[in-house]
Structure 1
């Protein structure tokens, strides 16, 4: 992939830009293999799964800068000034096509972009998600609620320009910190969730919910988990750190109880909605339940344990407490999906009675060193 922004020194976010993609993939695979060599010496590595090396991102997190009438959408430079990246080649075409429309809309609104060095202004970010069916979720991140009425009044114009916008919301982030969004979300449209069709499952994505930024690779990740789970044919499955329910819903089956646990109440509501829709289509499926709680502290039904556990933690991994519980529990099988092979290795070392049988790299983030590795573990 060639990138003018990278070549001109305007953006260095893609640290592997310019390296041939085959070399990127080989380097990432080598890194992951080396990290697990000591804790999983007999693991069998499947061929890496790859998607497109460009045009793959389904979500844009755009810093809004510049001035009213001449905004930039992209990132900030070292001095905190805006760098416009609306022609970045990483985004899905249907997502990239919205950027000029959104820039024009923001210019028309004349809301002052937030100036980081001066600590003034209102509009901080635009967060835009594109679904496989071509629908959009658009979120305006503001410092205060003073401009919400202006956005609400202009909403018909935005929906006319982007008729596939299913969800539009305002997020309030009042703090001068390097955080993307705040706790308050104001949905301006009738619909509050974006349907994300992944394989044979439709996930209801609400504004504050997490979803992988590469839909094609996420679809392969879920199918691999389903295959590994079905090989074990468990009667009960827990999906810890379940998010909007991608793994749990893909692994639902007749006669199988699936329980998902997630700390985000918004994500839990999304997952419950998706499960209800899936049950209407397939009433033969076993029970699917989602609980709000901290998966790191084993928040499943008290006094119970499943046949198989799926974990998909953030970069910090599952941590000592959950690893210790899994090691001492009757659980026989684990499917561990990790975005940080170093914490994965640490967690596997804390569960020595589980043997890593298979592993696979899913290249979710081409042009970078980021990675997603999934491992199938079985009790000796």
Structure 2
């Protein structure tokens, strides 16, 4: 069969109509039947674009001019939007963002799972889709003795500085600016990743939205932190709400922000925040959802799909610090959680004690390994909750689910593609996906979270 030559080449100028948005937020169109991705283009627009990269089945192009403008295109309030890699779709109206995310989920089920009959509800969005992030993680760098702090530019490690991030809690922005000023005053050297030298690599700020407690984590290349005493004194005076000031040591040449070692410079090792009725302690390494308002919306959907009466045994797989399992514990007879990170399991147990929850049990280990063992031991859950990473559930875990034969599986997913793949696998084993409820956890980005109900036939 002869190879089909792409109808475009790098540098070529083309005109095309944008028919939709990709899962990364780019505009998608066809040129002579060939798929073209155009960042910053909006569905419904006709654009002139310059081809930048050509692959076998698709190409990328740069937007040069709008020929016809979509009514869903809006003015962007953020001055660094086009350079910063934090948001991808601020230039699209919020209602169109939600519809695009719903379409993304439906396309994943149709194309990847072969499940085009699945009912996908409209996305549950926010009344005010700004200032929602309770955690900021900002790289520090600099040249000529001047500290830089900001987010990385798209596709690079160039730092884009900002005064106010439109999707961050305002308190996070305030503290980051205070830390930047103080680091400049004390002449603490920023980290140079090319030379692998310097001191301050990142600053992480976490805010307890319901408690007002604040944690600041200074990520350093090594244990030495210049001007430590004065730094602590000034931070305590300047940062209102500060409960925890921690030094994290990351000595490796890596993009992983946090190292393994934490040293408490002042205050507590954790801060606290609530999801609904449950209080959680949060350490620097804790996975805690970054949008507290929408987390409660998502977990209420999980509760609705789990349909608990108080008599059920519930398994919470990939449980992290126990957020979903403990949120549901009052409605279940018992909750069994499993998580591969041992510190997270310890946090889950502490959170159960913190809330006086006595019907939960958490075990450290790979979810697929522990679940397979439980299945072999005859554990029979009525409901299983899974909340896997982006790569989805391990096949071994899905096989354990089938062997345990719960009536209901509630699948929480941050990646529609792997959710659709796993749903297709379960369908072949007599589990039918009933409906999917997307939740907009990350407005103005291309990400979408889903909660899906899967029932045994």
Provide the secondary structure at the position in 1 that maps to 2:257.
coil
Map of 1:27 onto structure 2: 100
Deviations 1:5-58 (A, max 9, x none): 02xx43243221211111111111001012123554443333321123221111
Map of 1:174 onto structure 2: 251
Taking structure 1 as reference, are residues 160 and 365 closer, same or farther at Cα in structure 2, changes over 3 Å only?
Answer: same
Alpha-carbon RMSD across the aligned residues, in angstroms, is 2.2
Map of 1:237 onto structure 2: 314
- Please say if residues 85 and 152 of structure 2, whose CA atoms lie closer than 8 Å, have aligned partners that are also in contact: no
Out of 358, 368, 373, the residue aligned to residue 445 of structure 2 is 368
Map of 1:92 onto structure 2: 169
Q: Distance in 2 between matches of 1:355 and 1:331?
A: 12
- Please say if residues 69 and 108 of structure 1, whose CA atoms lie closer than 8 Å, have aligned partners that are also in contact: no
- Please say if residues 68 and 112 of structure 1, whose CA atoms lie closer than 8 Å, have aligned partners that are also in contact: no
Larger RCO, structure (CA 8 Å, separation 6 or more): 1
Taking structure 1 as reference, are residues 231 and 259 closer, same or farther at Cα in structure 2, changes over 3 Å only?
Answer: closer
1:144 matches 2:222: yes
Q: Distance in 1 between matches of 2:207 and 2:188?
A: 24
* Structure 2, unaligned runs of 5 or more: 1-75
Q: TM-score scaled by structure 2? A: 0.76
Q: Distance in 2 between matches of 1:160 and 1:40?
A: 57
Map of 1:74 onto structure 2: 150
Q: Distance in 2 between matches of 1:219 and 1:292?
A: 25
Provide the secondary structure at the position in 2 that maps to 1:253.
helix
Q: Distance in 2 between matches of 1:333 and 1:79?
A: 43
Out of 276, 280, 284, the residue aligned to residue 207 of structure 1 is 284
Q: Distance in 2 between matches of 1:44 and 1:221?
A: 17
- Please say if residues 240 and 312 of structure 1, whose CA atoms lie closer than 8 Å, have aligned partners that are also in contact: yes
* Structure 1, unaligned runs of 5 or more: 280-284
Taking structure 1 as reference, are residues 86 and 242 closer, same or farther at Cα in structure 2, changes over 3 Å only?
Answer: farther
Provide the secondary structure at the position in 2 that maps to 1:128.
strand
Deviations 1:120-156 (A, max 9, x none): 2111101111111221111111111121x64355213
| Deviation at residue 372 of structure 1 after TM alignment | 0.5
1:225 matches 2:302: yes
Q: Distance in 2 between matches of 1:236 and 1:39?
A: 32
Write 1 or 2 for the structure with the bigger share of strand. 2
Q: Distance in 1 between matches of 2:403 and 2:294?
A: 33
| Deviation at residue 228 of structure 1 after TM alignment | 2.0
Out of 364, 368, 393, the residue aligned to residue 296 of structure 1 is 368
Q: Distance in 2 between matches of 1:254 and 1:32?
A: 30
- Please say if residues 352 and 358 of structure 2, whose CA atoms lie closer than 8 Å, have aligned partners that are also in contact: no
Taking structure 1 as reference, are residues 79 and 334 closer, same or farther at Cα in structure 2, changes over 3 Å only?
Answer: closer
Provide the secondary structure at the position in 1 that maps to 2:355.
helix
Provide the secondary structure at the position in 1 that maps to 2:363.
strand
Q: TM-score scaled by structure 1? A: 0.91
Out of 4, 10, 13, the residue aligned to residue 86 of structure 2 is 13
Deviations 1:246-288 (A, max 9, x none): 1001111266101111122222222112211222xxxxx6611
Provide the secondary structure at the position in 2 that maps to 1:50.
coil
**Which range is displaced more, 49-58 or 313-322?**
49-58
1:192 matches 2:294: no
Q: Distance in 2 between matches of 1:68 and 1:289?
A: 54
- Please say if residues 254 and 286 of structure 1, whose CA atoms lie closer than 8 Å, have aligned partners that are also in contact: no
- Please say if residues 169 and 189 of structure 1, whose CA atoms lie closer than 8 Å, have aligned partners that are also in contact: yes
Taking structure 1 as reference, are residues 236 and 167 closer, same or farther at Cα in structure 2, changes over 3 Å only?
Answer: same
